[in-house]
């Protein structure tokens, strides 16, 4: 198993029997492990997650090749018990689509992310960024602790409502509470952590 990356000339951290690099990632945390390995091994390196082989790519040119020029070769999502449960419990979404499903959806959603439409979205996103800046200023002035998960969740909700639906709801300023409560019921912190970790432990 551990010879695959070496044979391809791809650097990787030392591996442990059966678990690969999982224990090292758990000890450091995903973000810390990524940062450390990027500094140590460069913009392209490998991780062994159990028996699975992950190639971590942070090189912009290679990512452009993967996501744009050769996207038809990178359209399969990994299988995971957590992802399988999420597919059953949550409405269909882009992150859950499998190969054949993605082929159908891609031509439909791609026009929504054209350069022209993204440019039109920019003022709406900047508006939400300004609201986020004001919210942080209020938090600093109050000198009280605040749940950043909730703050960024509200920022995300406000940005999506503005960019995707053209709805100018000041979620960060307390408007649209019913919307944020409904969203929190679907995707709470525990659910998101399960989804993220599902990709690591698969």
Q: What average pLDDT does range 115-140 have in this prediction?
A: 88
Give the pLDDT score at 45: 93
Q: What average pLDDT does range 98-110 have in this prediction?
A: 77
DSSP designation for 45: E
Q: How confident is the model at residue 13 (pLDDT cuts 50, 70, 90)?
A: very high
Give the pLDDT score at 198: 44
Contact status, residue 10 vs residue 1, Cβ threshold 8 Å: no
Helices 189-201 and 81-89, axial angle in degrees (round to 10): 140
List pLDDT tens digits, range 137-159: 988 998 888 888 888 888 888 88
CA distance 106 to 90: 20
Q: What average pLDDT does range 66-75 have in this prediction?
A: 77
- Evaluate if residue 93 carries a pLDDT over 70: no
What is each CA distance from 162 to 18, 65, 124, 173, 183, in whole angstroms?
47, 30, 6, 14, 15
Q: How confident is the model at residue 82 (pLDDT cuts 50, 70, 90)?
A: very low
Percent of the chain with pLDDT over 90: 15
| Cβ count within 10 A of residue 127 | 16
What is each CA distance from 156 to 153, 183, 197, in whole angstroms?
5, 11, 21
- Evaluate if residue 44 carries a pLDDT over 60: yes
Give the pLDDT score at 195: 46
Q: How confident is the model at residue 78 (pLDDT cuts 50, 70, 90)?
A: low
């Amino acid at each position: 198993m551990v010879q695959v990356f070496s044979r391809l000339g791809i650097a990787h951290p030392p591996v442990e029997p059966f678990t690969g690099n999982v224990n090292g990632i758990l000890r450091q945390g995903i973000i810390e492990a990524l940062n450390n390995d990027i500094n140590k091994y460069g913009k392209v390196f490998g991780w062994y997650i159990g028996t699975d082989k992950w190639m971590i790519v942070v090189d912009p040119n290679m990512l452009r090749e993967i996501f744009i020029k050769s996207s038809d070769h990178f359209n399969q999502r990994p299988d995971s018990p957590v992802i399988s449960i999420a597919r059953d419990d949550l409405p269909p979404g882009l992150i859950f689509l499998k190969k054949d499903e993605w082929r159908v959806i891609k031509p439909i959603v791609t026009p929504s992310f054209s350069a022209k439409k993204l440019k039109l979205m920019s003022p709406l996103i900047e508006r939400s960024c300004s609201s986020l800046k004001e919210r942080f200023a209020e938090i600093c002035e109050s000198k009280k602790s605040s749940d950043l998960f909730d703050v960024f969740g509200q920022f995300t909700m406000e940005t999506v409502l503005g960019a995707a639906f053209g709805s100018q709801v000041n979620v960060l300023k307390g408007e649209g509470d019913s919307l944020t409560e409904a969203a929190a019921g679907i995707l709470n912190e525990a659910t998101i952590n399960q989804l993220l970790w599902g990709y690591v432990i698969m």
